[in-house]
Chains A and B, each alone.
Chain A
Amino acid sequence: MTEILRAAATDLAAAIAAGELSSVEVTRAHLDRIAEVDDRVHAFLHVDTEGALAQAAAVDADRAAGKELGPLAGVPLALKDVLTQRGVPTTAGSKMLEGYLPPYDATVVSRLREAGIVILGKTNMDEFAMGSSTENSAYGPTHNPWDLDRTPGGSGGGSAAALAAFEAPLAIGTDTGGSIRQPAAVTGTVGVKPTYGGVSRYGLIALASSLDQVGPCARNVLDAALLHRVIAGHDPRDSTSAAAAVPDVVGAARHGDVRGMRIGVIRELGGEGYLPAVEQAFHDTVELLSAQGAEVVEVSCPSFDHALSAYYLILPAEASSNLSRFDAMRYGLRVGDDGEHSAEQVMNATRGAGFGAEVKRRIMIGTYALSAGYYDAYYGTAQKVRTLIIRDFDAAFEQVDVLVSPTTPTTAFRLGERVDDPLAMYKYDLCTLPTNLAGNAAGSFPVGLADGLPIGFQVIAPPLADERIYRVGAVLERELRAQWGGPLLDRVPALNGKQEQR
Chain B
Amino acid sequence: MALSVEDVARLSDLARIDLSPQELEHLAPQLEVILEAVARVSELDTEGVEPTSHPLPLRNVFRPDVVQPSLTNAEALAMAPVAEDERFRVPRILGEEQ
Contact = CB atoms under 8 A, between A and B. Distances in A.
Direct contact of A and B (CB under 8 A): yes
Interface of A: 100-101, 103, 196-197, 210, 236, 239-240, 242-243, 303, 306, 308-310, 312-313, 320, 324, 327-334, 337, 339, 341-349, 351-353, 355, 360-361, 363-365, 367-369, 371, 377-378, 380-388, 390, 422-423, 426, 437-440, 463
Contacts of B42: 377, 381
A346 B91 contact: yes
A384 B55 contact: no
A401 to B, nearest CB: 20
A383 B51 contact: yes
Interface in B25-83: 27, 30-31, 33-35, 37-44, 46, 49-56, 58, 61, 63, 71, 75-76, 78-82
Contacts of B90: 329, 343, 346
Given A197-B58, A387-B52, A327 B91 contact: no
A364 B46 contact: no
A337 B19 contact: no
A334 B81 CA distance: 7
A367 B49 contact: no
Most B CB atoms within 10 A — which of A327, A329, A332? Answer: A329
Interface of B: 8, 11-12, 14-20, 23, 27, 30-31, 33-35, 37-44, 46, 49-56, 58, 61, 63, 71, 75-76, 78-82, 88, 90-95
A411 to B, nearest CB: 24
Contacts of A240: 54, 56, 58, 61
Contact of B91 (A341, A361, A380, A384): A341
Given A385-B44, A387-B49, A309 B79 contact: no
In the A-B complex, the 6 residue pairs with the smallest Cβ-Cβ separation, listed nearest first, are A439-B55, A352-B18, A383-B51, A331-B79, A384-B46, A334-B81
A422 B30 contact: yes
Nearest to A307: B41
Given A103-B76, A381-B42, 11 more contacts: A197-B56, A312-B37, A330-B88, A342-B93, A351-B17, A364-B11, A368-B11, A369-B38, A371-B14, A387-B51, A387-B52
B18 A348 contact: yes
A313 B79 contact: no
Contact of B46 (A103, A331, A332, A388): A388
A365 B34 CA distance: 8
The A interface is mostly helix, strand or loop, or mixed, namely helix
A262 B42 CA distance: 34
Given A351-B17, A363-B17, A385-B44, A378 B12 contact: no
Contacts of B94: 342-344
Contacts of A463: 55-56
A373 B51 CA distance: 18
Nearest to A382: B41
B16 A309 contact: no
B49 A310 contact: no
B91 A337 contact: yes
Contacts of A337: 81-82, 91
13 contacts: A103-B78, A103-B79, A306-B44, A331-B81, A342-B93, A351-B15, A361-B30, A364-B8, A377-B42, A381-B42, A382-B41, A383-B51, A388-B49
Contacts of B34: 312, 361, 365, 422-423, 426
